[in-house]
Amino acid sequence: MVYLDNAATSRPREEAIRAYEEVSLEHFGNPSSVHGAGYDAERYLRKARDGVLSSFAVSSTHKCVFTSGASEANNIFITGIAHRFHNRGNRLITSLAEHPSVLRCFLALKEEGYDVVLLPVGEKGAVAPEELAKAMNDKTILVSLMGVNNETGALSDLMGLRDVIRRFPKCFFHSDLTQAVGKLDEPFALLDAFTFSGHKIGSLKGSGALVYRKTIDLPPLLHGGEQEGGVRPGTVDVASAYALSVALALARKEERENGEKAALLRSKLVSYLLSRPDEFVINSPFESSPFLLSFSLLKKKAAVYVEGLSEKGIYVSSVSACSSKRENVSSVVLAMGLSKERAAHAVRVSFAPYNTLEDIDAFIKASDELLKGLINQR
């Protein structure tokens, strides 16, 4: 199997699995319990939390809440800020290219009556600071813009965006860093909040975190427990939190080396796509994450192409799971102002540190075989 869908999820690393196993088997107490086994589990939870915060060098300014993943973390922060600070203003700003766990959260808040602004991203795939500046007003309480786009790998200028936002002291800046953490360095300490997921950085599915300023008092989304500072009730999965902190520390340590490796794989794939200009067009902007590449098929159906690759043991993602009943297009490609055709036939390839140049060779071989055989012209 050649797995090139690591932005969807990735293979966990052994160190994370071992950490999970060790805590599950030997430190399985409930960290809220007031006895030895509880204190022991609580020690591991503290280790995990300290580990996460120090991986981002934000221990003195930020706190960390463990969640079931980035989706939950995004919902907790975005909804929490809107509800807690609605007396300060009701404008909330995000972009059309965000992950659904951000975008739909904003849409739900719009239904509640908030003044929600959804910015397009243009050909660079990310909101430019000047565009954000035009949308800001004194009633803006939250801006949420991702660091790295999960389809195209487009990079946001987080420093530039933050410079705009700091002129509005009532406004918080959140960034969904799910595709950035452990892959690129970001100005973590300058953000009011950021969110990420464990299963994209070599830890387990069902784990993630919200990191936010200590000074922010956030209401819970769910009720019924004082765990995680009262923000996220329910018995904490200490083993998962600990595994996440282990995977994160390793990913941060290996960031540069892994980035260079991914860039090699990506550039080989880019050369292949550029050598077939009648078949492919690249959607990812020139400056983007080395871990992601989005392109569209010009003559063939993306869903059929991706299915054909899958039959050959090559796994990539089609954002267009075309069915006869429902038209499905990439909202990210559309948000860049590209055509509906391009959005309907987009393919995403995403790399992890364990991928090799041989994986790309296998992809190219299978792709060429398929292009020859595919007769279903659009």
Active site residues: 322
Site for ligand PMP in 129-148 (CB under 6 A): 146
Of the two residues 48 and 362, which places its CB atom closer to ligand PMP in the complex? 48
- Which x/- pattern over 105-124 shows residues binding ligand PMP (rule: CB under 6 A)? --------------------
Closest contact distance (angstroms) between CB of 180 and ligand PMP is: 9
| Radius of gyration of the chain, Cα coordinates, nearest whole angstrom | 21
176 binds ligand PMP (CB under 6 A): yes
Q: What does DSSP say about strands 346-350 and 317-318: parallel, antiparallel, or unpaired?
A: antiparallel
Which residue is listed with tokens 């919902």? Answer: 75
Closest contact distance (angstroms) between CB of 259 and ligand PMP is: 17
Distances in whole angstroms, Cα of residue 89 to Cα of each of 81, 174, 334 = 11, 17, 30
Which residue is listed with tokens 């007031």? Answer: 34
Site for ligand PMP in 212-241 (CB under 6 A): none
- Which x/- pattern over 79-108 shows residues binding ligand PMP (rule: CB under 6 A)? --------------------x-x-------
71 binds ligand PMP (CB under 6 A): yes
Site for ligand PMP in 310-369 (CB under 6 A): none
Distances in whole angstroms, Cα of residue 63 to Cα of each of 57, 59, 372 = 11, 7, 54
Closest contact distance (angstroms) between CB of 375 and ligand PMP is: 33
- Contacting residue, 12, 51, 69, 285, with ligand PMP by CB under 6 A: 69
Distance CA 337, CA 120 (A): 8
Q: Provide φ and ψ at 211, rounded to 5°.
A: -115, 125
Of the two residues 69 and 285, which places its CB atom closer to ligand PMP in the complex? 69
* C-alpha dihedral sign at 303, 304, 310, 314: negative
Of the two residues 237 and 279, which places its CB atom closer to ligand PMP in the complex? 237
178 binds ligand PMP (CB under 6 A): yes
Of the two residues 146 and 309, which places its CB atom closer to ligand PMP in the complex? 146
Closest contact distance (angstroms) between CB of 25 and ligand PMP is: 25
Size of the site for ligand PMP (CB under 6 A): 13
Helices H, strands E: what count in the chain? 12, 13
The DSSP secondary-structure symbol of 90 reads -
Closest contact distance (angstroms) between CB of 181 and ligand PMP is: 10
From the CB of residue 373, how many other CB atoms can be counted at a distance below 10 Å? 8
Nearest to 152 by CA among 173, 122, 128, 131: 122
Q: Helix (H, G, I), strand (E, B), or coil: what is residue 217?
A: coil
Closest contact distance (angstroms) between CB of 209 and ligand PMP is: 10
- Which x/- pattern over 1-20 shows residues binding ligand PMP (rule: CB under 6 A)? ------x-------------
Q: Provide the residue type at 306 as one letter.
A: V
Distance CA 301, CA 360 (A): 21
Site for ligand PMP in 258-287 (CB under 6 A): none
* Bridge partners (DSSP) listed for residue 136: none
State the Cα angle at 98 between 93 and 104, rounded to 5°: 75
Distance CA 353, CA 259 (A): 8
Closest contact distance (angstroms) between CB of 169 and ligand PMP is: 27
- Contacting residue, 179, 283, 288, 289, with ligand PMP by CB under 6 A: 179
175 binds ligand PMP (CB under 6 A): no
Distance CA 317, CA 8 (A): 8
- Contacts with ligand PMP, residue ranges (CB under 6 A): 7, 69-71, 99, 101, 146, 150, 176, 178-179, 197, 208
